[in-house]
Structure 1
């Protein structure tokens, strides 16, 4: 995973576009600011999105770069001789794929480029290892944000992700968590986790999490040892009023009415 080229800075792709040519290496290009556009030969199917800011192209990819902005854009680019199999296998005949990463991640990649660029020109004893770490870090960041990766993951893994998500949510619902915190814990974005739930269960996680909360609330009410306010807190509600409204909408009766009509199960 040798890093053969690394550069960063401002580029005016509108007035000085990069002509279409074959790099011969795995190219990782990120746009930190501006609106750059990857260009290819007209006979190649488009497999990337222009609104993304992280593109990876295979060594045999023939492409160039243009921009829609009049002002220069800030970019970071890495060329590697090879990449981990976990990345290369998702291409499946495609020559370019893309993803969108947040500004915090882009800033960390710029720092990485600052460290790597001098070593490409004058490598030291540890450079080979640092190049490999750099490549793996970039691959991890890309794969975490690559939405299409869900299609290549085995079905049984999706089932495990859903089960683990529900179990973790149920164990932490009293903390007032939701799909955002659960997705982060599972290592997915909210949209990715929602796709996995719909693919395996037919409904989104919010609906399933709400079922978990209501089932838990009903169980605690029927147990008969906790007050309504304590039950609402245990099920992740910030106050009793919002809990009562949600409970009535779900069960068509208030939690107080259910408590009055229930013989405690000791």
Structure 2
């Protein structure tokens, strides 16, 4: 899934990254300072950008430059694939560039710190950590594109979004498909069709994704006991939550938590 990762301070003006073909999906962010994308020969009229995230598809050819004598802190991830819903939003091979808030930059620093811990010292929770990073980055881009009006299928998305919001607010009660469909005034069969159109997946799989996303957030961002997290995510028993979590990610919730607590926010490094 994750095939390349880099995080730290870079002097892109003095040591530019020459244009080359990206074999995989590339997320590159500048969280401090300013950088710019360049063409394959290192030229290009692109302006220097601060607090920016670029998403480039496989086959994209570009390099990176920066300000003279002013290093920038960057975060780079290369993934073999991105979620289908984001790929559809991009319309195939289109590139994306989004502006980051201060909180977005801090969030990416924390994410990079977590990934770097596993990247440097592989451990059982690494695949879970990498999947979490992909979801965080994809959601950041997807939501930004949605604010800019680039989403397609708004009528379908509105129904699906209603179902997702209703389920998320009542996740602790573990509502079934019939309850969700009734709440948004469609039949269960129609709701399944809408989910397949939007996600190419079933409502159950998407609802499970929401459960585990919330579980991961609570595990890494709070001190709640694992049993309380299980209840918050709609599991009546800790044992069923533990089995489902390990079956999905290959490591236990406690392993994830202990690994995440070892990770510092991240200190910039020199070099590539």
Contact 1:40/1:63 (8 A) holds in 2: yes
SS at match of 1:34: strand
SS at match of 2:74: strand
Shift of 1:85: 0.6
1:11/1:73 contact within 8 Å kept: yes
For residues 36 and 146 of structure 1, what CA distance do their matches in structure 2 show?
Answer: 21
Q: 1:113 Cα deviation (Å)?
A: 0.7
Partner secondary structure for residue 87 of structure 1 = helix
Superposed CA offset, 1:157-200 (max 9, x none):
58779x9xxxxxxxxxxxxxxxxxxxxxxxxxxxxxxxxxxxxx
Q: 1: CA distance between counterparts of 2:146 and 2:46?
A: 13
Per the alignment, in what secondary structure is the counterpart of residue 81 of structure 2? coil
Residues 82-93 of structure 1 correspond to what in structure 2 (within 5 A)? 82-93=81-92
Larger radius of gyration: 1
Partner Cα distance (1:159, 1:142) in 2: 19
Give the superposition deviation at 1:52.
6.3
Unaligned runs of 5+ in 1: 164-266
Which 4+ residue blocks in structure 1 deviate beyond 3 angstroms?
Answer: 46-52, 157-161
CA RMSD of aligned residues (A): 3.1
Q: Are 1:127 and 2:126 an aligned pair?
A: yes
- TM-score (normalised: structure 2): 0.51
CA contact (8 A) 2:36 2:48 kept: no
1:47/1:157 Cα in 2 relative to 1: closer, same or farther (>3 Å)? Answer: farther
1:136 Cα deviation after fit: 0.4
Tell whether the 8 Å contact from 2:31 to 2:73 is kept in structure 1 after alignment: yes
Query: Do the aligned partners of 1:100 and 1:146 also contact (CA within 8 Å) in 2?
Result: no
Match of 1:17 in 2: 16
User: Is 1:100 matched up with 2:99?
Assistant: yes
Distance 1:30 1:140 in 2: 14
Q: Deviations over 1:86-117 (max 9, x none)?
A: 11122324452111120111111111111112
Q: What is the 5 A alignment of 1:29-48?
A: 29-41=28-40
Q: Is the 8 A contact 2:32 2:72 kept in 1?
A: yes
